Amino acid sequence: EISNWSYINMQDAVSPLMEQLMFFHDHVLIILIMITIVVAYMMMMLMLNKIINRLLLEGQLIEFIWTLLPAMTLIFIALPSLRLLYMLDEINNPLLTLKIIGHQWYWSYEYSDFSDVEFDSYMKSMNEMNKNEFRLLDVDNRVILPFNIQVRLLVSSFDVIHSWAMPSMSLKVDAVPGRLNQMSMLISRPGVSYGQCSEICGANHSFMPIVIESISMK
């Protein structure tokens, strides 16, 4: 699920929302490739063609066409984009709430649906790591969440601005002192996902990893 060196694609999606974002990315990429091919073809034809119409001062039909086609292209991009924006903010009856507090330079978590279940999550040092763990990404206490369950995230910060980001789930929530930001999450399959703080927050900003382990409710 994590990116490797020279890996240019997105991480494997572990949430339905991330899958929709990947489809939208491919949709926009196809449109951009088609525009590039058409524009390149027209430029080549104009450069290679020696015929010039010096008397062509206006053409209402061609002006209508080159106004209509870009407008239709923008509509084809905007409609699925607006749908995804609404999906990002939608929260449907969450069964679990996870509170996340950013610190310099670690994360604190609290399962607020239970009594006093909270812990801190620090990056593991080299001498604490096992052979199957990732350097600079694994933590001493992982967040354990069930998959196929709607989870509400409440994110804030204790000191400076942080950003709780999980790329494989299309999640990136700013952790701002004195402010409580909210987002929903649904993990579609079991596994371990990795993320990091995505807001420069001081000297050890690069050493604030996030690890979520998704398991079955059973």
> How is residue 207 annotated by DSSP?
G
What's the Cα-to-Cα distance from 31 to each of 10, 67, 165, rounded to whole Å?
Answer: 19, 17, 28
Cα(2)–Cα(12) distance, integer angstroms: 8
| pLDDT value of residue 6 | 63
**What residue spans in the chain does CATH classification 1.10.287.90 cover?**
16-50+58-89
Cα(63)–Cα(67) distance, integer angstroms: 6
- Who contacts 56 (Cβ-Cβ below 8 Å, separation ≥6)? none
Query: pTM above 0.85?
Result: no
Cα(79)–Cα(83) distance, integer angstroms: 6
By the 10 Å C-beta count (0-12 exposed, 13-18 middle, 19+ buried), 52 is classed as: exposed
CATH number of 16-50+58-89: 1.10.287.90
- The amino acid sitting at 109 is Y
Q: Classify the phi-psi angles of 100: left when phi > 0, otherwise alpha if psi is within -120 to 50, otherwise beta.
A: beta
pLDDT in tens, 130-172: 888 788 888 988 999 998 888 999 999 998 999 999 988 888 9
pLDDT in tens, 174-217: 999 999 999 888 898 898 989 999 989 888 898 999 999 998 87
| pLDDT value of residue 9 | 76
**What residue spans in the chain does CATH classification 2.60.40.420 cover?**
96-215
> How is residue 201 annotated by DSSP?
-
Phi/psi at 189 (5° precision): -155, 160
Rounded percentage of the chain residues whose pLDDT exceeds 70? 96
| DSSP secondary structure string for all residues of 109-176 | EEETTSSSEEEEE-BPPGGG--TTS-TTT-BSSPEEEESSSEEEEEEEESSS-EEEEEGGGTEEEEE-
CATH class of 96-215: mainly beta
107, 112, 114, 119 alpha-carbon torsion, rounded to 10°: 10
